């Protein structure tokens, strides 16, 4: 069987232009990132996922690409990328990159040649002579995007763009386009990457009639997976696919399509649970989680680089989460999401932030951490749209948070300078030496997660206990048993776990805010406000009792 490293990985996601500026021009770069790899290694993550770093007009944070085979000159060059990849490898870190092939920038040479009618590229994009009647339906960014079709005067036709009008959709049904996608994948595999986070997978498959062999659109995922495996057996596909659970089988296939899918519905239930201080939404969701192939995996997260998407919640539920974490209109976006950093949504309450990290790391799947969240960084709501959560990494209390020698106003995005989340108060230098800091706590949590493969490999069983505020999960894998308990409320809770540990020796893995009351063979846990506990249960072994024998 091939290497299933991703089943027990912890992924750290970052934006190169916001992580560390080496040359002082106000933009992060690969030299700066390479210089700060020790931070990621010390945190305990073993995989780095890079947001797009390709040449781009940067109208959409680099997701509007003009060249798939190069590095944005602001960030360095291919030589710098290889130096970074080697530095990561030397530290035992794997590298994943974004595969953004649903669309390109309209500045891409392919689109320019397509709009000119070049026979080679004429059908590389989706064109229509007449504007479809439903052009205003299905927009992804309400309030910012007006249509999914835009007229091009040179081509004298309309081109399709599921996202912004400066991002024209590639025609995936064209075999030449699919061949080019494989070439892109092969190029970055040759430079040492171990996988791809595939952007906008459902839209990539949209209206795809399939290859000539008559496969369904989902069959194309199998084609990519086979190519990936031929080139590098350990490489994986991590999909951005905000899908209902009943479609999971189509995307995972029979261990022959996607390796990992972000569990967006679980994330939405997690935020509802945090808003209510009640674990019931997560418990209910996990009980209905569908079976997936043994080698497949979900990806769990608290925050990512986009908005917190609450679109699958009921209207009343979404209102609850807005009221708790994004009550002001400026904090909301696209009528469905919140554009705030996680720590800011929780008011900087370190106990609650750390409990939420523990909970996320204990959920079934591979955890993904957004850079800066391990420090409890805040957001800059003065920045437009989703840029509010893409501010520069806060390394120290020096100017621009140690991210750059440039002035804050000259940085790629304005750092968080004021208030309790400003870099004077929240920075890596201060937290690394504080054993009680969010960084130090997350570091311990990741260490615990990586020592508990039951979570990555086992099935989560929701345990029935008194009180909805406490979420209790049990994992069983290869004879190993792990129980995790999390109090989502700000009120202490008492949990009787004697029935769960009968015949077992209890060994704590980690805890916070816990009092233990042992009575005979019984065990009662008193979880403080936002307290949590991970317990490993080991079968008790019988010990032989030596007896004296009487000799005559």
For domain 454-539, is the CATH number 2.60.40.1180? yes
Please tell me if the domain spanning 5-102+175-449 has the same topology as the one spanning 103-171.
no
Distance CA 419, CA 400 (A): 14
Q: Which residues contact 415 (CB under 8 A, 6 or more apart)?
A: 380, 391, 392, 394, 400, 401, 403, 408, 423
| pTM score, whole prediction | 0.95
Provide the pLDDT for residue 545.
Answer: 37
Q: Say if CB 533 and CB 525 are below 8 A apart.
A: yes
Query: What digits encode the pLDDT tens for the residues 96-149?
Result: 999 999 999 999 999 999 999 999 999 999 999 999 988 888 888 887 888 999
Superfamily of domain 103-171 in CATH is Oligo-1,6-glucosidase; Domain 2 (3.90.400.10)
Pairing, β 297-301 against β 366-370: parallel
Q: Which of 45, 46, 36, 38 is nearest to 16 (CA)?
A: 36
Instruction: Tell me how far apart the alpha carbons of residues 12 and 90 are, in angstroms, rounded to a whole number.
Output: 17
Provide the strand spans (E) within 51-199: 94-99, 103-105, 127-128, 149-152, 157-160, 167-169, 195-198
Distances (CA, A) of 371 to 15, 109, 320, 342: 8, 33, 27, 11
CATH code for the domain defined by 5-102+175-449 = 3.20.20.80
| Residue position matching structure tokens 């490898």 | 89
Strand intervals (E) in 27-100: 47-50, 94-99
Q: For 358-477, list the strands marked E by DSSP.
A: 366-370, 461-462, 470-477
Which H or E element spans position 261?
strand 260-262
280-326: pLDDT as tens digits: 999 999 999 999 999 999 999 999 999 999 999 999 999 999 999 99
Residue 139: predicted pLDDT:
86
Token pair 């052009």 in the structure block, residue: 135
Amino acid 37: pLDDT: 98
Task: Please work out, in degrees rounded to the nearest 5, the angle formed at the alpha carbon of residue 162 by the alpha carbons of 161 and 168.
Answer: 25
Q: Pairing state of beta strands 103-105 and 167-169?
A: antiparallel
Q: Which residue ranges make up each domain of the chain?
A: 5-102+175-449, 103-171, 454-539
**CA pair distance 357, 367, nearest whole angstrom:** 10
Contacting residues for 198 by C-beta, under 8 A, at least 6 apart: 99, 101, 204, 224, 237, 238, 239, 240, 258
Kindly list the averaged pLDDT for each block of 10 residues, start to end, along the chain of length 552.
87 98 98 98 98 97 97 98 98 98 98 97 96 86 88 97 95 95 98 97 80 70 95 96 94 96 98 98 97 96 94 96 97 94 97 98 98 98 95 97 97 96 98 97 97 94 91 93 96 84 80 70 84 87 42 36
Question: Which residues have a catalytic role annotated?
Answer: 199, 240
């Amino acid at each position: 069987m091939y290497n299933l490293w991703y089943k027990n990985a912890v992924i750290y996601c970052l934006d190169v232009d916001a992580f560390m500026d080496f040359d002082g021009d106000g933009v992060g770069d690969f030299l700066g990132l390479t210089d700060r790899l020790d931070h990621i290694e010390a945190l305990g993550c073993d995989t780095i996922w890079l947001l797009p770093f390709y040449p781009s007009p940067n109208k959409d944070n680099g997701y509007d690409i003009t060249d798939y085979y190069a590095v944005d000159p602001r960030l360095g060059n291919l030589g710098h990328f290889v130096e970074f990849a080697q530095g990561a490898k030397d530290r035992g870190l794997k590298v994943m990159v974004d595969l953004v092939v649903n669309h390109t920038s309209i500045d891409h040479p392919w689109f320019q040649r397509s709009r000119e009618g070049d026979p080679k590229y004429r059908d590389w994009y989706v064109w229509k002579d007449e504007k479809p009647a439903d052009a205003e339906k299905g927009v992804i960014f309400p309030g910012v995007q007006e249509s999914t079709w835009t007229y091009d005067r040179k081509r004298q036709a309309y081109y399709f763009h599921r996202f912004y009008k400066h991002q024209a959709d590639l025609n995936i049904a064209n075999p030449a386009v699919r061949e080019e996608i494989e070439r892109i994948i092969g190029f970055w595999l040759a430079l040492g990457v171990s996988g791809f986070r595939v952007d906008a997978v459902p839209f990539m498959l949209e209206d795809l009639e399939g290859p000539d062999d008559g496969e369904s659109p989902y069959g194309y995922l199998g084609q990519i997976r086979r190519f990936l495996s031929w080139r590098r057996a350990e490489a994986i596909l991590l999909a951005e696919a905000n899908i209902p659970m009943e479609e999971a089988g189509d995307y995972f296939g029979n261990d022959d399509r996607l390796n990992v899918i972000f569990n967006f519905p679980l994330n939405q239930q997690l935020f509802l649970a945090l808003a209510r201080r009640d674990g019931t939404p997560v418990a209910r969701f996990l009980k209905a989680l569908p079976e997936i192939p043994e080698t497949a995996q979900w990806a769990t997260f608290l925050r990512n680089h986009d908005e917190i998407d609450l679109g699958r919640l009921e209207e009343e539920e979404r209102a609850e989460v807005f009221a708790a974490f994004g009550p002001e209109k400026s904090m909301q976006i696209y009528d469905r999401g919140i554009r705030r950093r996680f720590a800011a949504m929780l008011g900087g309450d370190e106990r609650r932030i750390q409990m939420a990290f523990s909970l996320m790391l204990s959920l079934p799947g591979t955890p993904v951490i957004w850079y800066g969240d391990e420090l409890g960084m805040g957001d800059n709501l003065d920045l437009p749209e989703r840029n509010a959560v893409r501010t520069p990494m806060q390394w120290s209390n020096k100017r621009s948070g140690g991210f750059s020698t440039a002035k804050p106003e000259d940085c790629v995005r304005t750092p968080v300078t004021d208030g309790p989340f400003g870099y004077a108060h929240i920075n890596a230098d201060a937290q690394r030496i504080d054993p009680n800091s969010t960084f130090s706590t997350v570091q311990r949590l990741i260490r615990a997660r990586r020592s508990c493969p039951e979570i990555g490999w086992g099935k989560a069983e929701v345990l029935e206990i008194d009180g909805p505020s406490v979420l209790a999960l049990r994992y069983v894998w290869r004879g190993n048993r792990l129980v995790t308990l999390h109090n989502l409320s700000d009120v202490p809770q008492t949990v009787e776990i004697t029935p769960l540990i009968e015949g077992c020796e209890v060994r704590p893995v980690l805890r916070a805010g816990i009092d233990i009351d042992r009575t005979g063979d019984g065990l009662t846990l008193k979880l403080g406000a936002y307290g949590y506990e991970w317990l490993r249960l080991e079968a008790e072994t019988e010990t032989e009792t030596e007896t004296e024998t009487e000799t005559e």
